[in-house]
Amino acid sequence: MHNGLVAFYGYRGELYGEDEVIAVVSLDAPGVFSILAQDGDPRPDVPGSVFSYFANPAIHNGRVVFLGGEFGTLSSTYTARIDDPYTLYNDSGINNPVYSHLGVSTPASQSGVAFIDSTNTTHFLGLRNTPLPCGTGTFGFENINGFQHVPQGGDYLIWPARVNTLEYDSNAVVAFHAPAGQLNCVATGLDTIPIFGGPFGYFSYADTDGQDAVFIGYEPTVSFDRFQGVYLRDLSGTGEITRVIDTDMDAPDVVGSFGPINHVTFDDHLIIIEACAGGSGGCAEYGFFGCFLENGQPGEVFKILTTADRIDGRVIGDLTMSPAGRDGNQFVFDVRHNVQDASVYVATITRASAGCIPDLTGDGVLDFFDVSAFLSAYNSMSAPADYTGDGVFNFFDVSAFLNAFNAGCP
């Protein structure tokens, strides 16, 4: 998702998996979509081959990148512009970083993170068998099944990296600062799990807003109910690691604790988590939970939507967050209602007080008492005065409050 446009793949046939397409829809015209590629279209890089499956679409500045291929053959990464359907080419992802394997699956073959910058220059990061930027060990084999999107925030890319030749688990969270051309570790197995104690065993999924990082971390013990959590740390990897949620923590508006955590995204001071919650097995419900940063620290965790809810009056059988579906406080997700029916939605998440933010007293009137409440919060450096949400109390917060106060409320 980017600038109000959503790229997705879906099925037009009566059966699941039948007649796949890559398409784009605008938030200004929901339900009206443009098809960029579909089953049976010729693959531009493989003469005589046609598309029969797609995966992992993303969009940036009107250009879509996706995985495509024909069953029984190797897949490729393609891009297409929304104003020029069916003109496809294979270029490893313009302005969109991807995991990309660079050889066959042997101990000596290369793999890593590949992306093409705005000057059309290809960069390869974390190549297999090259040294880690911290501690000991080398980068391992990343992905032998095509590509996955690497989250990008500001000038940073971030991903959980595998360590050593054929290591299965990701044992470090690595960030790359593009202007400086510098790799560094955000977290490793040498770091201690907050509250739970002991070292991290491995990591999955990480994201960044360009200033801080969030990631999913696990304990080393392998078991069905393996402890895991979502954690926050600065991108330098030198600051304190802070818990956002973990599987020992009660889930909001659900009876029981969090269960397996599958995905996390981070943008615009908002962390969104896809996870199980509740019940004896920790998965009575499955869905999305959110957490805004307050003064640079995780605030209260809240429930967004789970399989216990209905959407547009319809049953929610399953929920999945789009891997590249975040844009500010909006995110894309798909809902499977039953075996045949599915939908794509965009959620907009706002703070609970967003209806009238400068009404700090909550009495529905903007007056001296709201100004006094703001100044009191500012002097004590508490959350209501951090209007910019950057964790710093300064002139910009005062200016933002006065602008909102003068603008009034609906």
**pLDDT value of position 60:** 76
**pLDDT value of position 142:** 59
**pLDDT value of position 389:** 62
Q: What is the DSSP string of 240-280?
A: --EEEEETTSBPTTSSSBEEEEEEEEEETTEEEEEEEESST
Beta-bridge partner residues of 131: 138
**pLDDT value of position 84:** 66
**pLDDT value of position 100:** 39
The tens digit of pLDDT for each residue in 193-241 reads 999 999 998 898 899 999 999 999 999 877 767 899 999 999 999 999 9
User: Any idea which residue has 């100004």 for tokens?
Assistant: 371
Q: How far apart are CA 282 and CA 260, in angstroms?
A: 7
**pLDDT value of position 64:** 83
Q: How far apart are CA 392 and CA 268, in angstroms?
A: 15
**pLDDT value of position 105:** 37
**pLDDT value of position 85:** 58
The pTM (predicted TM-score) of the whole model is 0.77
**pLDDT value of position 168:** 52
**pLDDT value of position 73:** 76
Q: Token pair of 310, please?
A: 């209905």
Q: How far apart are CA 168 and CA 311, in angstroms?
A: 38
Helix 368-379 and helix 395-407, axial crossing angle in degrees, nearest 10: 160
Point out the residues of the chain with pLDDT beneath 50. 90-109, 143-147, 166
- The Cα-based distances of 335 to 17, 54, 311, 342 in angstroms read 15, 18, 9, 5
Residues 214, 220, 221: CA angle, nearest 5 degrees: 130
Q: Are 88 and 119 in contact (CB under 8 A)?
A: no
